[in-house]
Amino acid sequence: MIPRPRPAAPSIGTVTLQVANLALELRCAAGPAPVLPRVPYGPFLVPSGAPGPADAVVEVLDAEPVPPAGESLYDTGDSWSVWRETDGLCFALRAGPDGPLLWTLRGAAPFARLRLDLAPRVRAGTAHGAGRGMLAYPLDQVLVLHLLAARDGLLVHAAGVRVGDVGLALAGPSGAGKTTLARTVGAAGGVEWLSDDRIAMRHQGPEITVSGTPWPGEAGIASATSAPLAAIGILRQGPTCRLTRLAPAEGLRRLLPTLSVPWYLRDLADRALATVDTILARTPVFEVMLDRDPRAVRDSVLRALPAAVGR
């Protein structure tokens, strides 16, 4: 008797993204690997076969998303929302307040495994995020924000720069001068810009690190580099360039509005705030007042700020 051939197992396509030393594997149960555009994700893609397990695995399915059922925890009103279901959390995005679901992301903290139901029209590039691949905003930041919070990390509205062998975080809201600063200072000797808009800070063992992310500002700076965090600067426009060291309580008050904290999830919010406490206990915070003199701005960032912390 000739045995019947077994059906071939479905192919599994994977791609791994690494941000702040956090490896996120996207796995398609059937079909090719997920497509992520080279800009801005290219520097963050991990080569196939690289050693080490992923910190989180996202199973990607081409399926009409099932609406969340349970308690609504947070809703932006015009973008994504998060719900508490019986077996975990559900993040969801609609095409407008009353539009169809584009994706749902389900999992439970610490989010080692998640399931992403992606409407086929999104994967095909005919809906939200067309041309940007399946990780179109806000899905990419929703994923990384919560993964970081569960692993002693934070997403920060800040520019990041490596000066020599240390890193600086330069925080501030839109309009504070992060992108202008990156363009003004430029690529001076021994300087590498990590991002001009979004960075990650993470407590790992004995170190606090600052890392670039795939979410640049207008200057388009998105580096996968990390560096030990030496200081945090709170940017402010003013009549002159000046550094002022802030007391810990004032540093926290000024930094807090720039942090992405999942306040709607008590356990994660508490862990994120504990991470903030650890970072501020080890890292000085300065007000960095900047004027329009390019030479003075470069001196403040490249010389005065590292010198103030003995680096």
Indicate whether 45 belongs to any domain: yes
pLDDT band, very low/low/confident/very high, at 131 (cuts 50, 70, 90): very low
- 59 has pLDDT over 90: yes
Show Cβ contacts of residue 124 under 8 Å, excluding neighbours closer than 6 positions. none
- The model's pLDDT over 183-239, given as tens digits with 9 standing for 90+, comes to 888 766 678 999 999 999 999 888 999 999 999 999 999 999 999 999 999 999 889
Do 221 and 245 lie in one domain? The reply is yes
What is the pTM (predicted TM-score) of this model? 0.89
160/133 same-domain check: no
Shared domain for 130 and 161, answered yes or no, is: no
Which burial class, exposed, middle or buried, applies to 165 when counting CB atoms under 10 A from its CB (0-12, 13-18, 19+)?
exposed
More confident residue, 67 or 180: 67
CA atoms of 5 and 207, how far apart (whole Å) = 55
Tell me how far CA of residue 113 lies from CA of 17, 240, 269, in angstroms.
15, 50, 20
| pLDDT (mean) for 164-168 | 92
As a whole number of Å, the CA-based R_g of the chain is: 21
Q: How many domains does the chain have?
A: 2
Asked if 182 and 170 touch (Cβ cutoff 8 Å), the reply is no
276 shares a domain with 186:
yes
- Are 178 and 159 in contact by the 8 Å Cβ rule? The answer is yes
Q: What is d(CA 282, CA 169) in angstroms, rounded to the nearest whole number? A: 14
| C-alpha span between 205 and 154 (Å, rounded) | 15
Q: Is 264 inside any structural domain?
A: yes
Percent of the chain with pLDDT over 90: 58
Q: For tokens 């991002």, what's the residue?
A: 195
Among 41-50, 84-93, 266-275, 299-308, the range scoring the smallest mean pLDDT is 299-308
Residues 280 and 303 in one domain: yes
Whole-number pLDDT of residue 134: 62
Q: Which pLDDT does position 188 carry in this prediction?
A: 67
Tokens 């932006």 identify what position?
A: 76
Give the model confidence (pLDDT) of 1-46 as tens digits. 344 444 333 346 888 999 999 999 998 876 666 678 888 899 999 9
> Do residues 94 and 138 lie in contact, with contact meaning Cβ atoms separated by under 8 Å?
no
pLDDT value at position 125?
Answer: 61
Residues 158 and 277 in one domain: yes
**Two tokens at 304?**
């005065």
Domain that holds residue 179: 153-308
Residues 76, 214, single domain; the answer is no
